[in-house]
Structures are given as structure tokens and as C-alpha cells.
Structure 1
Amino acid sequence: MDRMLYLAMNGAKHVEWQQSTTAQNLANVHTNGYKADQVVFRALPVVGDGSPTRVYQVDNTVGHDLSQGSLQQTGNESDFALANDGFFAVTAPDGTEAYTRDGGYVLDEAGTMRTRSGLPIIGEAGPLQVPPNSRVLIAKDGSVSAVPTDGGDRNPQEVGRIKLVNPGARAVYKGEDGLFRQHSGAVAVADPDVKVVSGALEASNVNAVESLVQMISHARHYDLHVKLMQTADQNAQRATQLLSLNA
């Protein structure tokens, strides 16, 4: 009885975790560049005499879906997205280099290009600084050019190139801040094959309908495990009563 209770409790705990992950994804269905979290479980046999056919669930890996979200054309020159696999580099709040696909930028008072969440965008040759009174153009290769909006010289001047990387899906993990980093802790090298689409944003790759269906499925599985725990408790009470009668 104790074993059945433990198995049901363990299953309920992991289904609850899976439900939490699905809810987190659903909450970010409108977050630009968001990559859905994935929780994978595997079944392990119960070790012990008399139970070779019983299994219990353990969490295997917590991963992420790196498939590309749909590109939304905005026509805004301060928006950009990545056209293929990869990321662009930013400076995380802890000062380390991290990676994201949440495009779009703003210029601070010093002319530094930052994401809309305030993170500095890293260039291949250092910080991307835009001169004042300039219009910013971003090319397909990530080159950033500044076009003066006043004065006689209106020729574009390249101020740097956004650092575009593609370390591979298995080489990165997503932190609690939503930014990606390499498992090795090393800094990724620039990849010239990653391309930029100006005037567009990448939507979240979360499928809202699929996530809602998953939440319903998780709730039913959770209820099943709870019923198993209740059954185990009832069986234990009946067994105790029988033992009391025989004593």
C-alpha cells in the first residue's frame, strides 16, 4: 500500500510541474522571441521483489523549443528579427554575454543600442554607439549604419555590426531571466550565416490552442493520481480493520 501511495504521489508531483511549465508558456504567448519550455519525463522500473512490472516517473530534462516563431512585419525601423536559426548577443544584468531572439532596440541618452528591456546589444567590435540626430539602418548581415538627419553630409556611416551567433540548440540553455547561455560558459563566436530582417519582430513560438489542450490533459492526469492516492488510503484502512478483527 505504501508503495502504491508513493508512486501516485510521485506522479502527481511531476504532473503538477508539467502543468506549471505549460502555464508559463501560455502566459508568454504574446512575448516576442519567446521560446517554449519543455519538461520531459521518463519511466523507471521499481526496484524490489514482487514489483517488476511497476514503474514510476522521474524528471529527465528541462529543455526548450527553439523553433522559429512567425515573423510579424511592423514597418518600424527600430524593430528587427532573425531570419534563421541563431541569436544576437546582449549584455545580461550580471555583466555576462547572453543571447536572445527578442529583437527591437531603443537608444539611451548616450546613443547606446539597447533591447526594449534595457539590455545593451553587443557588437562584434564592442558596444554599438549611434551618433546623436541620426537615423539607424540595420542590414541583413547585422551591420548598423547611422544616417545624419541634419547637416549637409547625409551619407550612411557604419557604426558596427550586431554580434549574431548560432552555437546550436544542444549547446545552450535558457536561464530564469529568459536569456540563453552556453552550457560551457564560453562566449559564442559570431556566425556570418545568421541573417537579420529589419522592420519585423519574431512572435512567440507557443501554440495557444495546443497549450490549452495540454493543460486539460495535465489536469486529468493529476486527478487520476489523486484518486490512486485516495484508493491506496482506503485499502490501507480496510487492511487495518481486517487485521484488527483477526487479532
Structure 2
Amino acid sequence: MDKALYIAMTGARASLQAQGTVSHNLANADTAGFKAALANTEAFPVHGPGHASRTAALHVDQGFDARAGAQRVTGNPLDVSLHPDRWLAVQAADGSQAYTRAGNLALTPNGQLVTAGGRPLLDPQGNPIALPPHQALEIGHDGTLSIVPLGQGADTLAEVGRLHVVQATPDRLVRGLDGLMRSADPAQPPPPAAGAVLSTGMLEESNVDAAGALVQMIQLQRQFEMQVKVIQRGDDNAQAANTLLRLGG
């Protein structure tokens, strides 16, 4: 009976872990460029003495949903929407290079170009991008950064840098705990993307299906309750069996 309790416990644990994944998706339903995390369970045979009849439930991280989110026109010159399989290179907290499709960019008071989450954008040389003082900024479809210097006319528009945009299919990327993507093979970073890589004045929204995620949460909650009931019934049966054994003794 104790074996049945452990098997039911693995199912309850997998349901809780899946619930956490769905909750994380819902929390990012309004996050620009967010890709919904995918989770599933698989059968895991339990090895050991005796007949091989026990199979536990194992939570499996299946990566992320690569479908593009809806496009929203904002008119903001700092908003960019990446073309399919294109990713902005940013500097992660540990200094390494990571990738994101969150195109709602911002400028810090010292002119550094960052994501909405505060991660510095990188240029093709891997350096954080800092712009000189300017009165207008234009981001080209190929990622070039051009400005009109303070006090100058529009005819003085000059290129001062370029966003580092890479090309990578979803199977070549893995999501880190910080929500940023990284190359599945650190020895082979994604190559730079050529040509038109983005559109300006618009954002790619999160691809999370909020209604579907809510339904999934309800289903997982019911699964968890059912698994807990199995554990409770198993414990009740074990106590009843122990009582009978004591009486029989």
C-alpha cells in the first residue's frame, strides 16, 4: 500500500509543477514578446526489487510555444517587433549574451539602450549600446540606430550604432530561469541576421492564451484533488489493514 501512496504522490507533485508553469504563463500574458512555457508529464518506470509494475509520473519541461504573438501598433519609435526567428541580443545579469523578442525598448538617463526589464541591448561586437545626446532617434528595419544630434536639423541624421539581431529557430534555443533565451549549444551561438529583421513603431504581444490557460489551471486543480483523494484513501486502507492485523494477533 505504501507503494501506491508514493505513485499517487508523484502524480500530485507533477500536477503542482504543471500548475506553476501555467501560473507563470498567466502572469506574463501582457509581457511583450513572451513565449508561453510548455509542460507535460511522462511515465517513469520505478526500478527495484520485485515485479516491475510501478510507474511514476514525471513532470517534463517541453520548452516554449514558438508561435508569434499578435502585432500591436504603438507609434513609439523605441518599440520594435522582430521578424520570425529573429532575436535581440542582450546582456544577462551574469554578463553573458542572451536573447529576447521583447521589443519595448527604453533609454536610461545616461543614454543606454535597454529592454523594459532593464537588460542592456548589445551591438554586433557584444558591447552594451549607449547613445549620445539627441533630439530624435530612428531604428532602421535592419537594426541600425540613427539620431539627430541636439540642436541640429533633420538633415543631420547620422548612424551611430546597430542592434545585434540573431537568427535562430526555436529548437536551437533554451529558456533560462531569468526568462531569457540562450543557445542550446553554447559552443555555437546563433549567427547574425541579415537584411530586414524588425518593424518599428509596433510590438509583438505575448502568445499566451489567457482563456485556455485558465481552463488548464482548473483541469490541473481537479487532477491534483483526485490524486490527493487517492493518497487519503490509500492511507485509510493502510490504517484499516493494520487494525485488522492487531486484532487478529
TM-score when scaled to structure 2? 0.90
How many angstroms does 1:152 deviate by? 4.8
In the alignment, structure 1 residue 74 sits paired with structure 2 residue 77: no
**Taking structure 1 as reference, are residues 193 and 230 closer, same or farther at Cα in structure 2, changes over 3 Å only?**
farther
Which residue does 1:93 correspond to in 2? 93
CA drift at 1:174: 1.4
Unpaired segments of 5 or more residues in structure 1? none
Where does residue 238 of structure 1 map in the other structure? 240
* Whole-angstrom CA distance in 2 between matches of 1:65 and 1:93: 24
**Pairwise CA distance, 1:78:** 1.5
Question: Is the 2:18–2:39 contact (alpha carbons within 8 Å) kept by the matching residues of 1?
Answer: yes
Q: 1:229 aligns with which of 207, 228, 231?
A: 231
User: How many residues in Structure 1 have an aligned counterpart in Structure 2?
Assistant: 246
- State the shift of 1:224 in Å: 0.8
Alpha-carbon distance, 1:227 to partner: 0.8
Distance 1:151 1:131 in 2: 13
Tell which deviates more after alignment, 67-76 or 41-50.
41-50
The residue identity in structure 2 corresponding to 1:198 is T
Equivalences for residues 1-247 of structure 1 within 5 A: 1-47=1-47, 49-50=50-51, 52=53, 54-125=54-125, 126-148=127-149, 150-152=151-153, 154-186=155-187, 187-192=189-194, 195-247=197-249
Mark the CA change 1:23 to 1:198 in structure 2 (over 3 Å): closer, same or farther: same
Displacement of 1:28 in angstroms is 1.1
TM-score where L is the length of structure 1: 0.90
1:206-229 deviation per Cα after TM superposition (whole angstroms, max 9, x unaligned)? 110010000000001001111110
Kept in 1: contact 2:14–2:57 (CA 8 A): yes
Shift of the 157–75 alpha-carbon distance from structure 1 to 2, 3 Å rule, reads: same
Distance 1:153 1:57, change over 3 A: closer
Contact 1:104–1:201 (Cα < 8 Å) also in 2: yes
Residues 97 and 109 of structure 1: CA distance in aligned 2, closer, same or farther (over 3 Å): same
Whole-Å Cα distance in 2 between the matches of residues 18 and 124 of structure 1?
A: 38
Counterparts of 1:5 and 1:179 in 2: how far apart (Å)?
38
CA deviations 1:147-184 (Å, max 9, x no partner) are 23523562321112211112322222212221111233
> Distance in 1 between the 2:13 and 2:246 partners?
33
What is the alpha-carbon distance in structure 1 between the residues aligned to residue 10 and residue 22 of structure 2? 19
8 Å Cα contact 1:84/1:194 also seen in 2: no
Greater shift, 236-245 or 41-50, is seen at: 41-50
**Cα deviation, residue 25, structure 1:** 0.8
- SS in structure 2 at match of 1:90: strand
* Alignment partners' CA distance in 1, 2:142 and 2:214: 38
Distance 2:51 2:190 in 1: 52
- Cα separation, 1, equivalents of 2:94 and 2:218: 38
Q: Greater shift after overlay, 87-96 or 111-120?
A: 111-120
What letter corresponds to residue 215 of structure 1 in structure 2? M
Q: Deviations over 1:45-93 (max 9, x none)?
A: 34464563x5321123352222211111001111111121221011122
Mapped to 2, the partners of 1:170 and 1:83 lie a distance apart of: 17
